[in-house]
Structure 1
Amino acid sequence: MSSPTPVWFITAASSGFGKYMAFEALSRGHKVIASARSTTRIQDLKEAGADIVTLDVTSPLPELQKTAKEANDKHGYITHLVNAAGYILAGAVEETSPQEDFDHFNTNVFGMLNVSKAFLPYLRSTCGEKTISNFGSIASWVGGAGYALYSGSKWACSGISEAMRAELAPFNIKVTSIEPGYFRTGFLNPAARVESAVRIKAYDETEVGALRKKFTEVDNNQPGDVKKGCKVLIDILTHTGLAEGKEIPIRVALGSDSPLVIMNKIRQTEDLLKEWDLITTNTDHE
């Protein structure tokens, strides 16, 4: 018996990884339901053969559940859920407001959680292997001045994904955290990135100020090709092409720079543990 045609539901398909994963899946004859806050921004995907729907991942759960039911009814099943919605909030912790912090986590973390909650009943009832792809980042591994909130949100995404993978394994749902390095998308464009409304002059000559300048310099000069990256992702999530015969990994370190960042973090952590081992571990009951 041949496998059913993959059916993808992709959030934030108006740009970046969401858009180009949708195009790559369509090019392979898969079914795609692409979503965005405004469908005017995904008309190109409709012209390419995708079904398009309006979806704001920060909507109340009942609204997301309604969208999930309508999406599942479209083809009778969903095989791949991609949570691609997210943005970066630039600013020192002292600069960002509680509302900016909440809005950031509401999209990057709670949006991922609630969309997953809405779709999980349908994924569980679909036969065969299913996948949920949540977007972490190299910032899931390394925090730095000026992007603490983004890093925290992406650490949360990766940690939650790892736990979800264990929870959903009995239902043949493979959860993976996609952790890209710098790819040339619109992610750092001035219209996409969010900067704290408050700017404290004391931070201008620190790493926080340097980061703001770096984002402008790096924008549209990132090394990663998003179309190549999405081809790799679709291969991995469907066990095809370069990923034929391989299991879907718990995380995908995507891009030439991502593994380097992660390996450096591992080495730093190993050094830290070795340095403090005899002090911090001598804490058990006699």
Structure 2
Amino acid sequence: MLSICSKTTKDLSFYRTVHNFQHYSEISNFSEFYDYFQWSKDNAIKIYIVGNGSNTLFTKKNIKSLVLKNKLPNKIEVLSEGNILVSSSVLIIDILKYCYESSFDSFYYLASVPATVGGALAMNAGRGRHHNLSIYDFVESVTFFDAEDNQIKTMDKTQIVKGYRETIFTGLTSKLILNATFKFVPKELDSNPIIERRKWSKEFQDYSVPNCGSVFKECDFKILEKLKGLCISQSCFSSKSINWIINRSQDSKPIVLLIKIAQFLHLLKFRKAILEIITVE
């Protein structure tokens, strides 16, 4: 049975802006998702699946998209030594804690990212472009439900990754990530890499105010450097972390305006400014 409601909250994006979600629900299995998908087609409304909201910008006060909160059961299942099956609703930090306690190499550079596994897989989360490191370095396969043909599918990572910060799941989608299998190898850890990453993040990244991390996945950093500290109302390009917007406002409009300013300056210089965050209306 469908259970679509209206909901006013700031908890669906790490920008912590307040929105009126006209069509909101939660899904705990793929069959529920299929029903909502059919409803969205019948009503010509887009779907957005939200995990923890760590890379999501809702651009208007009233959100018309059908926003579905991923409430699949949390599950980390050990298949064999170094091989684990993880549901999409599990937080990244929970995998990293398992890897550290088991002395495995892992994507510890994501320890400061408050994302779910599903969100990280959808956006191909990783380090900066020049590091050439991604969560998919440890992924064997991803299982998802494709509502277009009402089938559960499993794909190898080579079939999923489309590019830097982009996969077949990125953005508004008809595909619900159910779980993924990971392969980790033993590694001697002299210190706690989770703590080390968080120390580094505290020193070099701006977590003093709500934010969603990097705004653009492709941009001219010389332009963004000049925008550091620029504020509109209570939203600002961070003075500490280039390519970050920090926010104290309940309204997302100032964030949207800051992004448009950056995009306009790129246009004047004939440069690309491609968003990393996902925008939802």
TM-score by length of 1: 0.32
Q: TM-score, normalised by structure 2?
A: 0.32
Q: Which has the higher helix share?
A: 1
Task: Name the one with the larger strand percent.
Answer: 2
Q: Which has the higher contact order (CA 8 A, sep 6+)?
A: 2
> Which structure has the larger Rg?
1
